[in-house]
Structure formats: C-alpha cells, structure tokens
Amino acid sequence: MLIVMKMGASDEEVRGVLARLKEANLEGHLSPGEERVVIGAVGVIIDPDIRAQMSRMSGVEDVIAISRPYKLTGREFQEADTVIEVGGVKIGDGHMVVMAGPCSIENEDHMVSTAKAVKASGAQILRGGAFKPRTSPYAFRGLGEEGLQHLATAREETGLPVITEVMDSRDVELVARYADILQIGTRNMQNFMLLDEVGMAHKPVMLKRGLSATIDEWLLAAEYIMAKGNRDVILCERGIRTYETATRNTLDLSAIPVVKRLSHLPIISDPAHGTGHWYLVEPMARASMAVGADGLMIEVHPNPDHALSDGGQSLTLENFDSMMRSLEKIGEAVGNPLAPQPQLVTAD
C-alpha cells in the first residue's frame, strides 16, 4: 500500500508512520516528491486494519492499495522517472547512454585499446565481461579478478565508468570493488539470493530480462533488489526466446514503451544479444532509440573473428563508429539525443 503524507508533513510525522509500519512487520520505503512524501509499505501480509490505522495517523492524507504485484518498481509508488548518475553519466534523464566494449575481457592491451576506441566514437560507459556464463562448460568463461583489474585500468585511462556482470552472490563484494555498475545476466534474473545481495550493495544494478520472462516477472525481480534498499536499478531488454530461428533471440522493442508506462526505472536495449548478428545491431539500435530506450549495450571488438566469445554479434571499431554517427542523427530527430561523455580527471 501507499501512504501519501500531507503537504508539509513534518519529519516527526513521517518517522511515526515508519515506526508503526515496523511494528506491523512491514517495511516502509520513502519516495520524496517535490510537494509531499509518499511511503510504500511492503510485506508478506498487510492487514486491512493497518490501512485504517494509517489513515488516522497525524500527517497522513491518504492510504492507497497498490493493485500490481510489484510495488517499489511501479509508477504508483513513484511517478517521476528515476535518474541514476554514475561517474558523471546520467541514465534516464532523456538522453541515450551507450555502454560499449567487448563481450569478454581478453587481456589488458585489448581492453584498454578498445576502451579508447569506443570513447573516441562517443560511448559514455565501458562494458566488459570478467565472469562469463556460457552454455558449454568448455567455452571461455572469463579471466575473473584479473579481468576486473584490466577493466579498472581501462577506466583510469579513459575516465569511462564501467559495467560488468556478477554471477554469484559470493562474488558481489569483489566485483563491486572494481565496477561502477553491477550487471545481472539473463540466466540470473530469478537468482533471488543474488538479487538480495546486490540489493544490499551500494552500486547501481543493471538487470537483464530473463530468456522467457514476462514483463511482470522482470519487474518483480527488480523488486527484490529495491526491497533490499537499492533504488538504482536499470532494466535491460536483451531479447526473449521464441519460435524464431533466424535470430538468436527476439528483441522485444514493445517492452521498452510498456516498461516506461508501468515503471519509473530506466530501461536500455541490448540489440547484440537480441539478434545475435552484427549486421542487425545498428538497425535495432536505431529502433530502440526511436521507441524511447534510455540506453544501449553494444558489443565491440577490434577483430570479432578472433573474439573469445560472441564474435558473431560484435561490431568492429569502424562499424561502431559509423553506428554512433547514425545515432547522433536519429537521436536529434526523435528527441532522444546521445548523452554527453564524462570528463577524464587527471592528477595535477
């Protein structure tokens, strides 16, 4: 349920409501607005009598039952869009953010040179995988902490904030030590112990949609993260598994405007995993920008034919640069321009 406080309600009145919720074994989540505070109350069971009690408390204007299964991720809890700032880059403020880099971190020179190239083309965030979930246990599964160190070096060289995947709840602290954004991959969308753990981390989290997940299931997975106190959640549409075999997955572009209607969280698109073919990445990136995505995740490799993972869906440095020039024009035309890049801060 939502508890809407009166305009000008005092801090003491807000604390009183939170204390009463705690007594009822409910968690209160504040959503401060420009004019008034809204408190989202979540728990396993909400007694109808509690709603009546809350409505009589000092400073309370209204108590509203939330009809949807997800509470904190929905527009009912927070009408204004969530804007997440990381390393000087804002995600969700009406500008398209591009996260680019290799699927897998292969060595330091490879990571740094690719980082410099994608920055020169206009990317705002650097991506790279140190831990790789692979269908086959015999495929390259990442460099682990060594890869994270290479990613951190690339950040120092370019000033780009970095995003990388965490696969295991035991690795959250390690990955958070190096990364600016923690990525939860599609196979882990409903790994609830991992969601709880990143929910307690003090880093933004990007949650990819599961292979066959409905939008409600996806938003409920995000709810796990937010219920643990982490409000900085980014959603990523990366294609769902359908009967189609011409593409790796089916990129559900309709999910972007649907999610933006249902949720205040920013949503980005991953056209590489969504299609599986490098030549489809640019047209689907353009389409994602046109339907209002807050960002893109793009796989880029200097030599995709020799990439240790996902070479077939990776853009070359030249193709990525060409795509970025195209997105500049599309963004201005559809009112979703590319975000400015963070500034590299150098020591005096």
84-334 fold: TIM Barrel (3.20.20)
**Confidence (pTM):** 0.90
Per-residue pLDDT of the chain (348 residues; tens, 9 = 90+): 889 989 889 999 999 999 998 888 888 888 877 677 888 888 766 677 888 888 889 999 988 887 788 889 999 889 899 999 999 999 999 999 999 999 999 999 999 999 999 999 999 999 999 997 777 876 777 889 999 999 999 999 999 999 999 999 999 999 999 999 999 999 999 999 999 999 999 999 999 999 999 999 999 999 999 999 999 999 999 999 999 999 999 999 999 999 999 999 999 999 999 999 999 999 999 999 999 999 999 999 999 999 888 899 999 999 999 999 999 999 999 999 999 998 776 554
What superfamily would CATH give domain 2-64?
A: Phospho-2-dehydro-3-deoxyheptonate aldolase; domain 1 (3.30.70.1140)
Q: Please write down the HEC assignment for all residues of the chain.
A: CEEEECCCCCHHHHHHHHHHHHHCCCEEEEEECCCCEEEEEECCCCCHHHHHHHHCCCCEEEEECCCCCCCCCECCCCCCCCCEEECCEEECCCCEEEEEECCECCCHHHHHHHHHHHHHCCCCEEECECCCCCCCCCCCCCCCHHHHHHHHHHHHHHCCCEEEECCCHHHHHHHHHHCCEEEECHHHCCCHHHHHHHHCCCCCEEEECCCCCCHHHHHHHHHHHHHCCCCCEEEEECCECCCCCCCCCECCCCHHHHHHHHECCCEEECHHHHHCCHHHHHHHHHHHHHCCCCEEEEEECCCHHHCCCCHHHCECHHHHHHHHHHHHHHHHHHCCCECCCCCCCCCC
2-64 and 84-334, same CATH topology: no
User: Where are the domains positioned within the chain?
Assistant: 2-64, 84-334
